Amino acid sequence: MLRKIIVLTIVVGFVWACKTKLPSVSDTSKKPNIVFIMADDLGYGDVGFNGQTKIKTPALDQMAKEGVVLTNHYSGSPVCGPSRSCLLTGTNTGHTTVRGNPNWTTSGADVVLKEEDVTVAEELKRAGYHTAILGKWGMDEYGVSGQANAQGFDYFYGYRRHGEAHHYYPKHLWRNTEKVPLEGNIPEETFGQYSHDLVSNEALSYLDQRAESKQPFFMYVAFTTPHYELTVPEDSKEQYKDLGWEKKPMKKGHYYNDEEGNVAYAGMVSRMDRDIGRIRAKLKEHGMDKNTLVIFTSDNGHEYDRGFFNSNGDFKGRKRDVYEGGIHVPFTAVWPNNIPAETKSNHQSGFWDFLSTACEVAGIAPTKDDLDGISYLNALKGEKQKAHEYLYWEFNEGKGPRQALRKGDWKLVRQYQKEDELYFLSEDVGEENDLSKANPKKLKELQALILTARTDDPNYELVKIVKKK
């Protein structure tokens, strides 16, 4: 009799479990979606939630109000190529495969992601996700291994190579590995189909498609705005005309800029903001918003502004600098019922943390155990967060090599043929007071640490590089 009762209990339990469809690690329909949106050359101070007063960013400000702002988030690099490599692979510029933009290598050869690199897209596919990259891939200068579809992305639409993304009215974009001609586009006349709009609309279409599937998705939207060239359709300029702003005349050269820079720049940022709002509205339309983590940031510091917009905020430097202005970037994230609204975190994080964060959201451990990244999911949720021992950057373009290391509130800056600089950021975020002479013990500590922060790479030796012709 007892045996029959036990068997009956097991059967009833099994039937109940089947009917209620208990969630498990393999039950991908319960996994959160992830949308990662990245601007190109947007400064920390270019958004309203970080103090911008001239450029209107209502969608991003609303996103920050509904979610969290990380006030100490860093890009992977002060330029886009290596920054994206850090984001994708979970490693900083001392260890990632692509440590510089095309042509900026010791050997003179272009470097692309390797077949053995494990990207965040590959990790999420392992967890059952559909993956897409829309916009600027910029990792494919040559060879199969550098293609988005070879690095874990099921779908790609946008700019394949780095240089292609310099123009907003290109003659073609790419869909996966197929060239998509844009009939009627004249790049030098900034005429035709505006690529930012095409990417935005593709993101909306992708969300429409995913709404029909129970499979979780990872959508990486890599906007090119507001990177040079400075051009935007007239409707995005209207709110900034006739405001009495100082004029900044622009010329056409490699970049086919509009005639007036300040209005064009503001219009580009606001157009991107508008489309981020459209993406969030589309998620809500399909009832996917509550199960979707949305992150927004920028690939590095600003390049255009010289003070009118205060794109730096309180920071020194800009794109290509390892001062805060080159690498300290805006960050906000929203995830209803998981991220508390109207919150801030001063947790120190970097692009190389995203892979580990995405893996934790997806319920898996990263494939590799030698990553530089630490999941910042707890910081997003307002919970106790593990801290980094240090953050590290290196950069070899132009006036490089340049290196920086942040340990707690102390930051070491090392530049070609200059003495090392030491700053205490909690009291000097503008890096105005070099404390290297006043704190020799701390200086030596960080100097010793920076020697351990990188692996040697024959393509990226810390020497003066002459750009390949």
- pLDDT digits 0-9 by tens, 28-75: 558 999 999 999 999 999 999 999 999 999 999 999 999 999 999 999
pLDDT of residue 110: 87
Q: What is the mean pLDDT of residues 437-443?
A: 98
Alpha-helical regions (H) of 90-194:
120-126
Residue 381 buriedness (CB in 10 A; 0-12 / 13-18 / 19+): middle
| pLDDT band at residue 23 using 50, 70 and 90 as cut-offs | very low
| pLDDT band at residue 7 using 50, 70 and 90 as cut-offs | very low
pTM of the model: 0.93
| pLDDT band at residue 8 using 50, 70 and 90 as cut-offs | very low
CA distance 269 to 11: 60
CA distance 360 to 293: 12
Question: Taking 60 as the threshold, does the pLDDT of residue 9 lie above it?
Answer: no
pLDDT of residue 143: 76
Question: Taking 60 as the threshold, does the pLDDT of residue 114 lie above it?
Answer: yes
CA distance 227 to 272: 12
Q: DSSP label at 333?
A: E
> How many residues does the structure list for the chain?
469
CA distance 121 to 123: 5
Find the range with the poorest average confidence among 139-143, 153-157, 309-313. 139-143
Give strand pairing partners of 206: none
Strand, helix or coil for residue 39: strand
- pLDDT digits 0-9 by tens, 150-178: 999 999 999 999 999 999 999 999 999 99
